[in-house]
Amino acid sequence: MDRLLEFLAANPLLVTATVLMAIAVVAVEIQLRARALLEVSTAEAVRMINRGATVVDIRDQAAFDAGHIVDSLNMTPADLAKGEEGRIKKKRGVVVICENGSKSYGAVKALRAAGFDGAFGLKGGIGSWQRDSQPLVKGKR
């Protein structure tokens, strides 16, 4: 025990760096677990859509026109920030789609703050949807 205390006293920078790294690892792990609570798999998204959930695609117009989920709304994150979520049906749930699942998290948080408790992001985004061989519609809605 004395040697441990001696080591800690002799290496304050190393000890500080180790403690900070441990805190960073814990913080990232907590953030990832919290994010997982707001995401659904492709199969769960299909179940939600079949029950009447609204699909909100937050990709840009060109990506949306290249292929999107049937009956999805194309809204940018800026549209959601401006309060245009009134176009979304509140009672059946919302599935938010982006390119790879990274941007949908912020949109889901914004929707939940606006009262959409049933809002979830598609884990892996439209790429995951395509990998699971789900259909896409091309062209403008």
80 and 17 both lie in a single domain: no
Do 78 and 118 lie in a common domain?
yes
pTM score: 0.75
pLDDT tens profile 35-59: 778 899 999 999 999 999 999 999 9
Whole-number average pLDDT of the chain: 88
Read off the amino acid at residue 26.
Answer: V
Q: Residue 55: in which H helix or E strand, if any?
A: strand 54-57
Domain count along the chain? 2
For residue 17, the model assigns a pLDDT of 96
Which tens digit of pLDDT belongs to each residue from 49-87? 999 999 999 999 999 999 999 989 999 888 776 666 667
pLDDT band for position 141 (cuts 50, 70, 90): low
Q: Which domain holds residue 28?
A: 2-36
CATH number, residue 100? 3.40.250.10
CB distance 88 to 72 below 8 Å:
no
For position 10, what pLDDT does the model report? 93
Structure token pair of residue 22: 């441990």
